[in-house]
Amino acid sequence: MGTKFVRVIFPGSFDPITNGHLDVIHRAMGLFDELIVAVGTSPVKNQLFTPQERVEMIAELIRDLPNVSVESFEGLTVHFAARRKANVILRGLRSLTDVQYEFQLAMTNRAVAGIETVFIMTSEQYGFTSSTLIREIARLGGDLSKLIPPSVCERLRRKLASIA
């Protein structure tokens, strides 16, 4: 019996990408043959960066990672996964609060589309971090140097200055 090629998608808004997201990407690299960071648009989230800007930020950060790419998508994650022939959806878990929501989503995705979800617990130093919290800290002038990469910090600073 041969080994099966496993392509995973890591969906999210990544608005902006954080060190916690990067931690999940780096830790997942050795578990799958190919990892696609899937930048989605959400009608319920108040997004700061355009999908193209988010893809550019991520592409810069992953350019040296083998078998990792980034794409944007609209619509259901399971439809994107099917178009890209992904075997698995990857999700990062930060807290017990995430578990309940992500469990429900994973069960629904399996029932609707037959796709499995794999969870990676984020490292403890990033367990409290979310893109929403990052945007709020940035708006209030807080130090984000330990939470997001320097290039993302600079883009965030410029973006907030341009809309102020």
94 is an active site residue: yes
Q: How far apart are CA 87 and CA 31, in angstroms?
A: 13
Catalytic residue (one of 13, 54, 91, 94): 94
**Interhelix angle 150-163/131-139, nearest 10 degrees:** 60
79 is an active site residue: no
Catalytic residue (one of 21, 54, 135, 155): 21
Catalytic residue (one of 54, 91, 131, 155): 131
Give one DSSP letter per residue of 59-96, joined into a string: HHHHTTSTTEEEEEE-S-HHHHHHHTT-SEEEEEE-SH
Question: Half-sphere exposure of 100 toward its Cβ, with a 13 Å CA cutoff?
Answer: 2
- Say how many C-beta atoms besides its own lie within 10 A of residue 145's C-beta: 10
Residues 6 or more apart whose Cβ sits within 8 Å of residue 5: 33, 34, 87
45 is an active site residue: yes
131 is an active site residue: yes
Catalytic machinery residues: 21, 45, 94, 131
